Amino acid sequence: MRRNPLTLVIGLLLIVIFGLLLFTFQVRTTEVAVVTTFGKPTRPITEPNLYFKWPWPIQKVWTFDRRVQNFEDRLSEGLTPDGFALLTSVYVGWKVSDPTAFFPRFAGSADPIAAAEARLDQWLDTAKKAVVGKHALADFLSTSDNGAAFLGIEKEILSAIQSQIQTNNLGLQVEFLGLKRLQLPESVSQSVFDRMTSERKRLAERFQSEGEAEAQRIRADAERRAAETLADAESKATQIKGTGVAEAAKSLAVFQQNPELASFLFRLNALEGALKERSTLIFDQHTSPFNLFGAGSTNLLNK
Amino acid sequence: MNDHPHSHDEPPAPALPPETPVDAGSQALAEALRSSFAIVKVVMVLLVLLFLASGFFTVGPQERAILLRFGRPVGEGEKALLLPGLHWSLPYPIDESIKVSISGLQQVNSTVGWYAVTPEQMLAGIEPLAGPTLNPIVDGYALTADANIIHTKGTLVYRIKEPIRYVFGFVNASNAAQNALDNALLYSASHFKVDDILTRDIAGFQEEVRRRVTQAVEKQDLGIWVEQCAVQSVRPRQLKDAFDQVSTAEQERGKLLNGARTYENQVTNKASADANSLISLAQSERVRHVSDMAAQAEKFLKILPQYRDYPELFKQQSLTETLSRVLTNVQDKIFLAESPDGKPKELRLLLNREVQKPKPEEAKP
């Protein structure tokens, strides 16, 4: 019976595929793996690729997610050295970094990631308490240092948790850590509100008195400046008039030719000027031309 | 291809009957074997086809896909993303396609600093009733630099810069972005004063949050670009009245100051106008005075020769002339004759009977 070559190729292909599925495994870029031989971890794999293994039951592959996990711990209370109870909660970005160290501790549990996070939670709790206990409230909240102390506190918690992981050799790595919540106990919030209310009251009063004082100042200032302007103008006007008088005085030389006539003319002018408007004059008989009514004059008339 | 003898065994029968069935039973068995073998072959071909066809996959309009070859992503950055359409990859365990929904802009919200509000209340825009205290378990808030309590929430809009890092680096990258935003709000509030956050420097606070969250996502290598970061902050609901009082007082102050400034303008403008008129008055007075004197001098020069000739007569004449002119203008003229005994007479006058606008003058020669 002649063999059909196509049949042969297809058969071989199937065997290859079956073999591939049985003898190889893929580690994705999102995973780390550890190969166990008869239950003992023998080969850690941290690079993504296609790998060979002996089929079950000789070797078995355990893969773990190597992506960064988000973990947020519980809100827990710590006491600052200046006596404030602070509730803090942090978020942690961590990942499995060493599968051989990670495997024996957590592979047994149903959810290795959750089991690891439970450990993290415990340590975070102590680390936070210790760090909060070292810092006054002013380190957490401060205008002066642009938040440097706040960042310092986060760093302290991070290094505490990192050293804890290192000493216990868990095969984890904490990538980043940050404070997520920073709060006060419920009873304290009431007293904060009371303080804020009185602060607001003070502020409102300050605005009010400030406004009044400032408005007063502006008014007084304006009045002062107005008076100054006027006084200035008055002195200038006097000066101008003075120069006028000085200029006019030049004409006095002309009058000097006959001071008697000049003085007579001045008086005539003054008289005319003074009586221009509504006025009342009271005469007796000595005043010219009314002296005509007097005795001497009648003589003249009688003549 | 075919060595099936069953359909055409009659014509070549005399030539060569190599395996001619001995009996009908064994012939039927061979027949059955052959046909089942054919079925197996068809199944095998189908299997291979199916295996190859398993590499086809479609990417939906809102999705992208990333191809992994031996577990490693194919392509770098944006190029690693397969666009919507039909694609083919080599079958597992060589290639593997992973679908992701990461196109366009992503958005996360931070409500860690906001009071407890249910989605229904949020939609309806209703503020939940505020108790006298804040329960840290349910009510979020942030502490300011001056140890005050405020509520603050933010929205971060970002674009994915490195899809491979974003998808394969994190279990939940959007969650990480949200945590970074939470932290940025808390951090920024911790070194801003309550009035700066709420009124005086809203933009500065928002900028600080943006700066911090940008820094954090870069440090955490999330593979995203921060496009927009919006922050909203409010006073605690419990202190509405106290805060309102302050803003009323502030407005009141503004009103007072405005009033004062208006007054200032009026007063100074009036003063400078008065000053100007004073000066121009003085100037015109000066001119008038000088020209007046000049005119008098001129007149003096004209009449001097006449005076020199008849001094006494000239005096009499000009006095009388002036008096006559003056007297026509005088309103009331009273002549008081001398009493015979030479004693002065007593005269009682009631002046200014009517209120006059021009100043009444009294003159006595």
Of A209 and A253, the one with more pLDDT: A209
- Reported pTM: 0.71
What number of residues does chain A have? Answer: 303
CB pair distance less than 8 Å for B250 and A289: no
CB B225 within 8 A of CB B161: yes
- From CA A68, how far away is CA B169, in angstroms rounded? 6
B-chain residues near A248 (CB < 8 A): 289-290, 292-294
Tokens encoding A278: 């509504």
DSSP at A110: S
CB pair distance less than 8 Å for B363 and A279: yes
Q: Which CATH number fits domain A69-184: 3.40.50.10490, 2.30.42.10, 3.50.50.60, 3.30.479.30?
A: 3.30.479.30
CB pair distance less than 8 Å for B279 and A237: yes
Mean pLDDT, chain B, rounded, equals: 82
Over residues A30-48, mean pLDDT: 87
CB A95 within 8 A of CB A66: yes
pLDDT tens digits for B10-27?
444 444 445 555 678 888
pLDDT tens digits for A81-130?
998 899 999 999 999 988 888 888 887 788 888 999 999 999 999 999 99
- From CA B104, how far away is CA B158, in angstroms rounded? 9
Backbone conformation region of residue A171, classed left if phi is above 0, alpha if psi is from -120 to 50, else beta: left
B-chain residues near A193 (CB < 8 A): 132-133, 149, 236, 238-239
**What is the structure's pLDDT at B2?**
43
H helix count then E strand count, chain A: 9, 10
Over residues B325-331, mean pLDDT: 79
CB B52 within 8 A of CB B91: yes
DSSP at A68: B
- From CA B313, how far away is CA A289, in angstroms rounded? 15
- From CA A50, how far away is CA A26, in angstroms rounded? 4
Burial class (CB in 10 A: 0-12, 13-18, 19+), B139: buried
- Cite the residue boundaries of each domain of chain B with CATH code 3.30.479.30: 105-235
- From CA B310, how far away is CA B318, in angstroms rounded? 12
pLDDT tens digits for B295-305?
888 888 888 88
Position A295 pLDDT exceeds 90: no
Q: Which long-range contacts (CB under 8 A, 24 or more apart) does B73-78 make?
A: B73/A29, B73/B164, B73/B168, B76/B164, B77/B161, B77/B162, B77/B163, B77/B164, B78/B163
- Closest C-alpha among B135, B129, B167 to residue B149: B135
| A292 and B CB contact within 8 Å | no
CB pair distance less than 8 Å for B70 and A29: no
The CA distance from A280 to the nearest CA of chain B, in Å, is 5
Percent of chain B topping pLDDT 90: 31
Percent of chain A topping pLDDT 70: 93
**Residue A200: pLDDT band with limits 50, 70, 90:** very high
**Residue A301: pLDDT band with limits 50, 70, 90:** very low
Over residues A165-169, mean pLDDT: 88
B-chain residues near A234 (CB < 8 A): 278
**What is the structure's pLDDT at B361?**
47
Over residues B209-225, mean pLDDT: 92
- From CA B354, how far away is CA B365, in angstroms rounded? 24
- From CA B351, how far away is CA B359, in angstroms rounded? 12
Of B20 and B184, the one with more pLDDT: B184
Residue in B171, B270, B297 nearest the CB of A255: B297
**Is residue B151 classed as helix, strand or coil in its secondary structure?**
strand
Those of residues 179-238 in B touching chain A at CB distance below 8 A are 179-180, 182-183, 186-188, 190-195, 216, 219-220, 236, 238
**Residue B81: pLDDT band with limits 50, 70, 90:** confident
Give the N- to C-terminal CA distance of chain A in Å, as an integer.
195
CATH topology of domain B105-235: Tetrahydropterin Synthase; Chain A (3.30.479)
**What is the structure's pLDDT at A188?**
87
Sheet of A279-284: strand order equals B332-336, A279-284, B361-362
CB pair distance less than 8 Å for B271 and A208: no
What is the C-alpha R_g of chain B?
Answer: 57
